[in-house]
Amino acid sequence: MTSQALQRRSPPQSGRQDESVLMERIRAKDVDAVVVTSTGDAHEELVLAAIAARKPVFCEKPLATTAPACRRIVDAEVALGKRLVQVGFMRRYDAGYRLLKEVVVGGTIGVPLMAHCAHRNPDVPPAYTTPMAITDTAIHELDVLRWLLDDSYVSAQVVFPRRTSRAPAGLADPQIILLETAKGVRVDIEVFVDCIYGYDIQCEIVGETGTARLPEPTAVPVRSQSRRSAAILMDWKQRFIDSYDVELREWIDSVGTGAASGPSSWDGYAAALASDACLEAQKTAKVVPIESRPTPPLYGGS
């Protein structure tokens, strides 16, 4: 089996010759599957081309940059009648999140009532903007919480605490995302991308009879100079590199068997719907409703 990784860094309005080459690669008879790792603005075009060529495609998150673009991908896949797309939401492949999922599904803490999450980065580049806290950062939580809770979102709100003095110009940091799910679970997600001290991912599910927390990354406890301490990671790659490997191995296995697995186009669409609502909430400070069509049968809907 041959898989072709596709990257496009140039803006959509340029590089038409490069685009033609990419499309030829997707249609090539010696290419059995496609991996899309380009910038988000190119995802829709490349994924649609892979669907048209009837080839399995792994697309890094986001599936596309807006919910309508994701919906076009969903519609193309539904029209074909076969799942071909997997979205790169790698949190679902992290060992800690999988253990947390087992606890929630197993009923150990009872019915989930609330979820408290934090996504903290030591710093971000000067070009990082307020909307990117949703589209590039919290998008992971927007997906993995749907998966953990087996639920969907019905509303979103974004509030801004006191701004850190370290934030680059034009960036409101930190932010707090408030979500409500169809089952009534209340979710808060703290996004703090200039926290200085480390790359820190937290998630706690509060149930009727107990709570469950995402395990901390393995670190050696140290006793030295009258202190007890444990190192905190500074790089997201260190935190999730293993989950990327598991994700791609499982996708390759699914391509070989012809049985699609992992986050689907519908999951990409659902995350984009929530993301679009959060972006609107950033601007309006209002509670923004999130409305979705019924899940198509192709993705397990009734």
**Per-residue pLDDT tens for 38-81?**
888 899 999 999 999 999 999 999 999 999 999 999 999 999 99
At which residue do the structure tokens 């408030």 appear? 178
Q: Say if CB 35 and CB 56 are below 8 A apart.
A: no
C-alpha to C-alpha distance for 160 and 167, rounded to whole angstroms: 13
| pLDDT of 1 higher than 80 | no
How confident is residue 12, by pLDDT bands cut at 50, 70 and 90? very low
pLDDT at 252: 94
Can you tell me the distance from the alpha carbon of 214 to that of 115, in angstroms, rounded to the nearest whole number?
11
| Secondary structure (3-state) at 96 | helix
Does residue 17 surpass a pLDDT of 70? Answer: no
Domains contained in the chain, CATH given: 3-90+242-275+290-299 (3.40.50.720), 105-236 (3.30.360.10)
d(CA 90, CA 99): 15
Please write the tens of the pLDDT for every residue from 254-286.
Answer: 999 988 889 999 999 999 999 999 999 999 999
Residue 208 buriedness (CB in 10 A; 0-12 / 13-18 / 19+): exposed
Q: Dihedral sign, CA of 191, 192, 197, 198? A: positive
Contact 288, 272 (CB under 8 A): no
The reported pLDDT for the residue numbered 181 is 98
Average pLDDT of span 292-299: 92
| Residue 110: per-residue pLDDT | 98
Residue 130: DSSP 8-state: T
**pLDDT for res 258:** 86
